[in-house]
Structure 1
Amino acid sequence: MIDQATIDRILDAAQIVDVVSEFVTLRRRGVNYIGLCPFHNEKTPSFSVSPSKGLCKCFSCGKGGNVVHFIMEHEQLSYYEALKWLARKYNIEVKERELTNEEKQAQSLRESLFVVNQFASEYFRDVLYNHIDGQRIGMTYLRGRGFRDDIIKKFQLGYSTDSPDALAKAAIQKGYKEEFLVKTGLCYRKDNGSLHDRFWGRVIFPVHTLSGKVVAFGGRVLSSATKNVQMKYVNSPESEIYHKSRELYGIYFAKQAIVRQDRCFLVEGYTDVISMHQSGIENVVASSGTALTSEQIRLIHRFTNNITVLYDGDGAGIKASIRGIDMLLEEGMNIKVCLLPDGDDPDSFARKHNATDYQAYINDHEVDFIRFKTNLLMEEAGKDPIKRASLISSIVKSISVIPDAIVRSVYIRECSQLLQMEEKILVEATAKLIEQARENKFKEEQRRQYRERQLAATTPNTGTPASSTPAVSEGNATAGNDIPFTASNDIPLPPPPVEDSGNNGIIPDFPPVETGEGAVVPTSLGNEIPVDTYTSYIPTEGNEQKVFYAKEEDLMRMIVRYGEKVMCYMENENGEQLPLTVTEYISEGLKEDELQFHVALHRQMLKEAEMHIHDENFTAERYFIAHPVPEISKVAVDLASDRYQLSKYHSKGQKIISDEERLHELVPRLLLDFKLSIVDEEMKHTLQALANPEIANDPQRYMEIMQHYKELHKTQSIMAQRAGDRVVLKI
């Protein structure tokens, strides 16, 4: 565990623009920065980064948060792993206690696989530099390819001896589990059960993630060492951490150059990337011989809109230059194709030319893709009318996937001239394909929704009302009931509601499950808060459109933004005026009518705010945004993300007044609105419970629910009377 003081130092040092810029191309817009969201596919930038708030947020998919959340989401790390990542970046020493054996065993599978890969990478490099075969065979091969020592070191190239189990033995001797050696693909089991190295007798090319972690390996056979091996290249298989369709070789070393040049070169293989780097061209990545995928395209699109595809000048290279290009067009990329001279590939051409000559050749020979494809296919079609018709259809199909209407129009006009066809015909054909694509997309969406409805209809439900249960520290035990929970973050999971098809509503069984008073749930600072005993007939899920849900979020927004602010004064028994914070006012107001927030996460946040409200230098917003429970911190970010937008409230003199200036008026109104709305909703679902035939046939249960309904009705009447003459509190 990392102590809170160290966490604070990390958060103070980490600049969100600096961190996000490593992964996303940002452009200034006013006081903020914008870029393409790294978490979903988009063509128009909607990812906003605010340096003043230290927050980022995508206004399309909704993902974002502070600098820790960004690293957690982007690199798929835990909260503490993300903090360590930032600490390394800003040279902050992290002191933490030694993990117990149980905690070591509980480390995630992903982390274990990355650790094993890192060991293997270091092992292969050690063999290359320090083993006699590494020097004699591996290093000789690499230098024979013209690679300098600094480039070999930069790309962390290595070598595996021709001993088929050398890595496996070394790893096991170091204490690494056979299970992880197999799951990473470094080894595989033979029929007799023994471990066998996948990359024996090969030069090793580590594949890095965007942040520099070793995620996979590629190995090139050296015939002098492995005479009976047929496959020239062997790559890591798919694993929990490696999906080749999502990775690009060299992206870690190229990302900054891509941003600087606002351009990316796409090649096929490992050596193509390395040779171009050595020649001085660093904004280059490789698809590693696989067909280009949409995930790889989006990875490039984070850094630039401009891509030049470099391929061999032979026939295979020309054909390869066409495959996958339509996907690039669909992503809104500006694509050019450059065919190298016959007999050359990007690797060999880079070894013959320096960066200036290489760049000059590309600039002189690169061609816009649509023009390239048109000229290429026209040459193939000749005067054959059938082939020409097929050519035109292929060109129109490529144009139709371009998202920008203006760009489509320009291409149509140019192709009309190249193909000597009426522009009107091409426009009509393009429009037809676009409409057909829309219909197909709509049908696919309908099929997806139908499958979801069918799945929901066949999912078994239980008959327990919405309730929450405290997490316990070990195993999957619950506090005296069968309600599941997630032990990873101590936020309880509610039981699924019962859907009554005849009533078209959610009818929970009775009685509500209540929890005991002995258990506790942890907070971010290790304090303990009483167990959550909230019970309700309102379903736990599917309330986002309900009135009370919006009112509850409004109150939580006040707590996160202004929880520690004094909003009014109250008189005690001795006639003294005592300050009352926003958090205390909301908490006491709910207790007055024996009500609580419906969302379990909101209840926990309110309890933690109460506990720390009088701590020295406590700020609710900072406390919750830096909370180690990801669900809490992300909710806090969403609630705080528009803090600096001005309120629409105006005074008589038309002066804009912020929410903070009128807390004494705003919070009581929001609290009363929430109470009225949640009581109204609770009464509706209590009536639905009374309509349940099983309950109606049980007099005792029926009377208990009826009594609950009467109490709600009484509370509603009292609150309605208060709403009739709202009092504005004065500071």
Structure 2
Amino acid sequence: MIDQATIDRILDAAQIVDVVSEFVTLRRRGVNYIGLCPFHNEKTPSFSVSPSKGLCKCFSCGKGGNVVHFIMEHEQLTYYEALKWLARKYNIEIKERELTDEEKQAHSLRESLFVVNQYAAEYFQDILYNNIDGQRIGMTYLRGRGFRDDIIKKFQLGYSTDSHDALAKATIQKGYKADYLVKTGLCYRKDDGSLRDRFWGRVIFPVHTLSGKVVAFGGRVLNAATKNVQMKYVNSPESEIYHKSRELYGIYFAKQAIVRQDRCFLVEGYTDVISMHQSGIENVVASSGTALTAEQIRMIHRFTNNITVLYDGDGAGIKASIRGIDMLLEEGMNVKVCLLPDGDDPDSFARKHNATDYQAYINGHEVDFIRFKTDLLMEEAGKDPIKRASLISSIVKSISVIPDAIVRSVYIRECSQMLQMEEKILVEATAKLIEQARETRFKEEQRRQQRESRQQTTAYHTESTTGNNTYIPVPSPAEPPAENLVPVPPTSEFLPEEYGSQPVLPENIPPFTPEDAAASLPAADITPAEAPESSPAYTSYIPLEGNEKKVFYAKEEELVRMLIRYGEKIMCYLEDENGEERPLTVTEYIASELKEDELQFHDPLHRLILKEAEAHLHDNGFTTERYFIAHPDPAISKLAADLASERYQLSKYHSKNQKIITDEERLYELVPRLLLDFKLAIVEEEMKHTLQALSNPAIANDPEQCLAIMQRYKELQQTQSLMAQNAGDRVVLKA
């Protein structure tokens, strides 16, 4: 871990305009800079950089943050990798604290495997360049394929001699453990216990992660160097650090080009990727001969919504891969297919053409996947009615997985014309498949909830046998359908969300009785949601996830925004018992008001921010914005940077004589209003979910717990009533 002092030095040295300018052309606009967003394709600049705040923000796609977050997003690095990237740029020595024994054990194996892989990659490259067999066999093969030396070096290609244990001996001689060689898959043990190299006599293709670490290898057999070897390619097996379903060959070298071009080319093999890079097309990745997986698709989707699949000219394997491409449609991607000329694959075609010609061919011959599939299967079906029916079913199935209703409608209309069928029939068939898929997902979700319910009941009874009848902290499931909710008495309704608007306060609510609980409908498994150990203690029946659109969550986020921006600012003055005025900061006011009503923020990150703001409020020179944007926890620093970003700027045409009143000058008005809105909203939500908790079988069968929850509901009612009565006069503020 990097200590906080070093992080502060890095953030002080790293000027955001300087860093962003390496990747984006910026021009000054007022006190800020603007440019074209590097994270999505745009023609009108919407990417703003604020040197005074040290923040950047795209007001179109929403991406941004401080200088560390920019490097994380642009280079696809972790928080600490981004800090190290900046430290190297500004020649800052990294000082990392000693890890605890637990942390060492957690990181030791993975880091050791990466270190061994990196050594192996360097070993294979050394053999290729400096060994006689590497030059005579490996380099001759690569140059014979048309690969330039700079491309060979870029992709870190290597060679392994035909000695069966050369790597094993060299690695162990360097002090690496034999177990690590086996766990990475570089070697395997024979029956007699000796080590044997997996990739002997092969050209080596290292596989890199998004951040550039060597995670696996592929080895291509060379007939001139080996005999009696049946497999053309040998790949690393699954390991602690390598899961082939999650990796794409070439993604490390292609990610920036994919973002710039807003398109990704998908090919099959290692040499396809390398040849296309050499021809000038860098936004290309390979599935390495395996069927596409959801993880690989999501990785591509992080960079672009558009993908073009390149197929060999002979069409071999096209039909087998169609099933995998349906997954691309299901992820909402815009999929096109390009069939290369007969006898060519992406590798050979790239060697014959430069980037301009290659790109022109693709643009002229690519078609959307639905049209491609229709043409392909129509040719095969001919006039056979049974095959045509099967073809139509297959095409309708592909259309049905597309999540966008408008895109589905367009494809249905086109297919109706191509297949000479009534559009109505295709619409009905598509709707039927969508409904079947929805029912399947619903049943799977039901089975999952039933399994969780049985586990919760078992956990409850196990806990009860120890004599401890406390609630069992388990993750809360998603909110049940509206028709299954327990009726909740009406509470407050709000006028349009403007800070100055007055809320309509709730009317008196009749007391809750056991009969009300008995009348509740059969329910879902709802148990108290408990936050991680690192956050302040908090128990709630509101689900931890899926609250972003709720009223209380929006109000809570606005409060945290005020806390980040103005936490150390004085918002008002209070008179103490001696009649002396005492300043009250935004942080102190929010914390004291929440404690007075026994409420807390629902989001664990929000609670941590408030807790740390209280703890450091009186530190010398403490400012909440600076502290949290530079926070060592990347989740907190990213949230703080987002909340601190300004969306709008003042118009340059405002009257010179008109005084602009800022939020900071209105803290005495804004913060209490936001706090009141939040309290009323979260109490309302808490009351609803507390009632739902009574339907949990483990709770409903326990009279003590049932009564405790009813008591909790009554307390919430009283809190809500008091807030309604005391709204506006609890604290006498003096600006």
TM-score scaled by length of structure 1: 0.71
Partner Cα separation in structure 2 for residue 415 and residue 445 of structure 1: 27
Secondary structure in 1 matching 2:113: helix
- Given residue 336 of structure 1, which amino acid in structure 2 is its aligned partner? V
The amino acid of 1:453's aligned partner reads Q
Q: Is the 8 A contact 2:84 2:94 kept in 1?
A: no
SS in 2 for 1:610: helix
Residue equivalent to 1:613:
617
Percentage of pairs with the same residue: 70
CA separation in 2, counterparts of 1:155 and 1:142? Answer: 12
Residue 241 of structure 1 pairs with residue 241 of structure 2: yes
The match for 2:336 is 335
Counterpart in 2 of 1:96? 95
1:212 to partner: Cα distance: 2.3
The verdict on how the C-alpha distance between 1:543 and 1:240 changes in structure 2, with shifts beyond 3 A counting, is: closer
Change (3 A) 1:676 1:463: farther
Residue matched to 2:266 = 266
| SS of residue paired to 1:239 | coil
Q: Residue 573 of structure 2: SS of its match in structure 1? A: strand
Quick check: 1:559 aligned with 2:558?
Answer: no
**Separation in 2 of the partners of 1:305 and 1:338?**
21
Partner of 1:441: 437
Given that 1:311 and 1:320 are in contact with CA atoms closer than 8 Å, whether structure 2 keeps it comes out as no
Q: Which amino acid aligns with 1:609?
A: A
User: How far apart, in 1, do the equivalents of 2:604 and 2:266 lie?
Assistant: 48
Residues 456-483 of structure 1 show CA distances to partners (whole Å, capped at 9, x for unaligned) of: 312247779xxxxxxxxxxxxxxxxx99
State the match for 1:284 in structure 2. Answer: 284
| Structure 1 residue aligned with 2:490 | none
CA distance in 2, matches of 1:551, 1:287: 45
Query: Following the alignment from structure 1 to structure 2, what is the Cα–Cα distance between the partners of residues 714 and 411?
Result: 57
The corresponding residue for 1:664 is 668
CA distance in 1, matches of 2:75, 2:165: 32
2:151 is matched with which residue?
Answer: 151
Name stretches of at least 5 consecutive residues in structure 1 with no aligned partner: 24-29, 38-47, 465-481, 485-492, 514-520, 523-530, 647-653
Q: Give secondary structure in 2 for the equivalent of 1:216.
A: strand
2:446 counterpart residue number = 450
**Other structure's SS at 2:564 match:** helix
Instruction: Find the counterpart in structure 1 of residue 427 from structure 2.
Output: 431
d(CA) in 2 for partners of 1:363, 1:589: 62
Q: For the residues of structure 1 that align with 2:223 and 2:414, how far apart are their CA atoms?
A: 50
Q: 1:730 aligns with which of 727, 730, 734?
A: 734
Q: Could you list the per-position Cα deviations for residues 432-469 of structure 1 after superposition, in whole angstroms to 9, with x for gaps in the alignment?
A: 232123212321331232123213312247779xxxxx
Aligned length: 652
2:238 alignment partner AA: E
Q: Provide the aligned C-alpha RMSD in A.
A: 5.4
Show the counterpart of 1:217: 217
Q: Report Cα offsets for 1:405-430 as digits up to 9, x if no partner.
A: 665566556555555x2xxx342243
In the alignment, the residues of structure 2 paired with residue 691 and residue 657 of structure 1 have an alpha-carbon distance, to the nearest angstrom, of: 58
Name the structure, 1 or 2, with higher relative contact order (CA <8 Å, separation 6+).
2
Return the alpha-carbon distance in structure 2 between the equivalents of residues 222 and 72 of structure 1.
40
Letter aligned with residue 216 of structure 2: A
Deviations 1:677-731 (A, max 9, x none): 999979x98999999756999xxxx9xx99x999999999987764473455122
Contact 1:378-1:391 at 8 Å conserved across structures: yes
> How do 1:164-183 residues align onto structure 2 when only pairs under 5 Å count?
164-183=164-183
CA contact (8 A) 2:472 2:527 kept: no
Structure-1 separation of matches of 2:640 and 2:165: 51
Separation of aligned partners in 1, 2:413 and 2:111: 53
Matched residues in 2 for 1:70 and 1:451: separation? Answer: 42
- Deviation at residue 497 of structure 1 after TM alignment: 10
Deviation at 1:219, TM superposition (A): 0.5
Tell me the TM-score normalized by structure 2.
0.71
Q: Is residue 400–residue 430 contact of structure 1 (8 Å, CA) maintained in 2?
A: no
Partners of 1:507 and 1:413 in 2: CA distance: 45
CA deviation vs aligned residue, 1:95-146 (integer Å, no higher than 9, x gap): 2147469464442644443333222211211121122322232222212222
> How big is the shift at 1:233?
0.1
Q: Secondary structure of 2:220's match?
A: strand
Change (3 A) 1:185 1:85: farther
In terms of mean alpha carbon deviation, does 378-387 or 431-440 score higher? 378-387
How many Å apart are 1:148 and its aligned residue?
A: 1.8
SS at match of 1:314: coil
The amino acid of 1:345's aligned partner reads D
Whichever residue aligns with residue 338 of structure 1, its letter is L
Tell me which amino acid in the other structure corresponds to 1:279: S
Instruction: Report the Cα offset of residue 668 of structure 1.
Output: 3.9
1:555-704 paired onto structure 2 within 5 Å? 555-571=559-575, 577-589=581-593, 602=606, 604-630=608-634, 632-633=636-637, 636=640, 640=644, 659-669=663-673
In structure 1, what residue type is equivalent to 2:194? S
- 1:277-426 aligned at under 5 Å gives the runs 277-316=277-316, 319=319, 322=322, 324-330=324-330, 331-342=332-343, 344-363=344-363, 365-367=365-367, 369-402=369-402, 418-419=418-419, 421=420, 425-426=421-422
Aligned to 1:517: none
Secondary structure at the aligned position of 1:281 is classed as coil
- Measured in 2, the distance between the counterparts of 1:106 and 1:391 equals 51
- Partner-residue secondary structure (3-state), 1:80: helix
